[in-house]
Every structure is written in C-alpha cells, then in structure tokens.
Amino acid sequence: MDGKLIILGCGGSAGVPAIGNWWGACDPNEPKNIRTRPSIALKTKDKLVIVDTGPDFREQMNREKLGAPDAVIITHTHFDHVNGIDELRTFQRQDKERTFPTYGMADTLKSLQAHAHYMFQPSENGFYRTVCVPHEIKLGKNVIENIPMQMFEQEHGTMPTLGIRIGNVAYSTDVKRLDGFAMETLEGVVTWIVDGAGYHNRSNPVHACIEEIAEMNEKIGAKQVFLTHMPPIMDYKTMVKELPDNFAPAYDGLAIDFAAA
C-alpha cells in the first residue's frame, strides 16, 4: 500500500510559539519554527488514518484540508497527544452514522476511556452518541484501513508509547529508549521520524537526545532521520547547521512517501 505520511505537527508539548508568545531559541521569522503538537496523518488513495489527536487537531486537519479520518491511532495518553479527541464529534455531526475505530495498546485505551469516557459511550439521555470504538493493538503486524504496519513499544520514562513502522518509514514519537523488539522492527527502515526533544541533554528522563538517536541509528540504519516533538529550545536553522548529515528537523506540513507491504 502506497501513500503519504504528513507531519501534522512536530512541536513539543507546548508547541512553538508556546503560550505567552514564547519562542525560546526559535527565530520567529523562520516559518518552519511554527510547530503544532505532535501528530501525523497516513493518507492513501482512499483512506486516512490519524496518529494522535492533540490540542491542535482541528487546526492541523483544516490546514492540510483533510476530511474525517477512517481511523485514529493513539500512541499514549499525555495531553499533547489526546486532548483534541473531542474534535471527532464534529466530524460525526457532519455524518451522524460515523464512528471512529480508535486503536491503541491496552493500557492506552483504558486510560483514554477514563479521560474521555463520554466519547466511548452514548449519554444516558441519548443526546450524545458513541464517537470512538476501541480496538486493541497487538505488537507486531497490524493492518489498519488496508495499511500494513508494524507496532512496537517504546520506553518514554513515565509510560510506554507506541512506535509504528509503515514499510520504509517509521514514526517514534515520545521515546527515550528502545528494546530489542523495537530495534529489530526498525532495522533497515529508510526514513525514521523520531522524538529528539532531549536535544543536547542526555539526562532528559523522557525524551532521547541527538546523540542517543545517532547511537540507536547505528543499528537501525535509517538513511534519513527527521526529528520531531521539538520544543522552543530547538531552532530550525541552528539544527540544520549542527545536526549529523543524514539528520534534519521535521516541519509541520512535511510529506513523506511510504510504501508498505
């Protein structure tokens, strides 16, 4: 299955500029520094799958002129990945029969249903309908909306997150470390989009730094590494100058072709 992976957002939990119009080290005159919260879209000729529905979900979907997704995958339940999930109800208002298969690991679904229970069950008075239908992801091969994907668990300090390989492209948001299964799954991928929010700080307990990513990639062997989840300390042009040759910062709206079998 061929398609496009679109970076809907590559910002950290606060986005850039963060609230208070805080740009940090980011140059406000560089459009690629404008970053919404982390999310991607997987678009094939007739299907659309969204990975994470953060606080900027509405803005991201409208910016990329995307319609209702066929399915949603949630990597983990930190607010910057789930707090826009209510926007799915607006798609349902445009088509009352519509529900959204919502995929995640068992604990993610449990936590999501505790956080947004009203999205998973109709209200007692019948006014609100069920919007999200939970589907548990098993590690390894899954096929979602005809797109074959390899799922793996990632270590993120406070909770595990879901990593996804779609053929020649992989998405590893919110990761500090990878176990053997994750490394094996990623081996040989061509393009790896990975959380680099640790930047130069190896002691960041929840996000990998550039050095750690480079060490992991010695084994994985991705030809192109795109950083995501970038906080205001990470300026686009500064990174372009200082990153290893095959590394680059992602930017909102970047589209990458994938081919998955």
Which residues bind to Zn ion, rule: CB under 5 A?
78, 174
Q: What are φ and ψ of residue 93, in 5° steps?
A: -65, -25
Closest CA to 230 of 30, 43, 66, 1: 30
153 vs 174, which CB is nearer to Zn ion? 174
The distance of closest approach from Cβ of residue 72 to Zn ion in the complex, given in angstroms and rounded to an integer, is 17
The distance of closest approach from Cβ of residue 233 to Zn ion in the complex, given in angstroms and rounded to an integer, is 17
174 vs 252, which CB is nearer to Zn ion? 174
37 vs 78, which CB is nearer to Zn ion? 78
Residues 118, 168: Cα–Cα separation, whole Å: 37
The distance of closest approach from Cβ of residue 179 to Zn ion in the complex, given in angstroms and rounded to an integer, is 18
Q: Are 195 and 163 in contact (CB under 8 A)?
A: no
Q: Using the structure block, give the residue that is written with the tokens 């290893």.
A: 244
The distance of closest approach from Cβ of residue 56 to Zn ion in the complex, given in angstroms and rounded to an integer, is 15
82 vs 119, which CB is nearer to Zn ion? 82
CA 131 to chain centre: 21
Q: Are 212 and 220 in contact (CB under 8 A)?
A: no
The distance of closest approach from Cβ of residue 174 to Zn ion in the complex, given in angstroms and rounded to an integer, is 4
Token output for 239: 């990174």
70 vs 174, which CB is nearer to Zn ion? 174
Residues 108, 53: Cα–Cα separation, whole Å: 13
Any idea what the Cα angle at residue 246 is, between residues 241 and 250, rounded to 5°?
70
Token output for 248: 């680059």
37 vs 165, which CB is nearer to Zn ion? 37
Helices (H), the chain: 57-63, 79-82, 88-94, 106-115, 180-186, 210-220, 236-242
The distance of closest approach from Cβ of residue 74 to Zn ion in the complex, given in angstroms and rounded to an integer, is 11
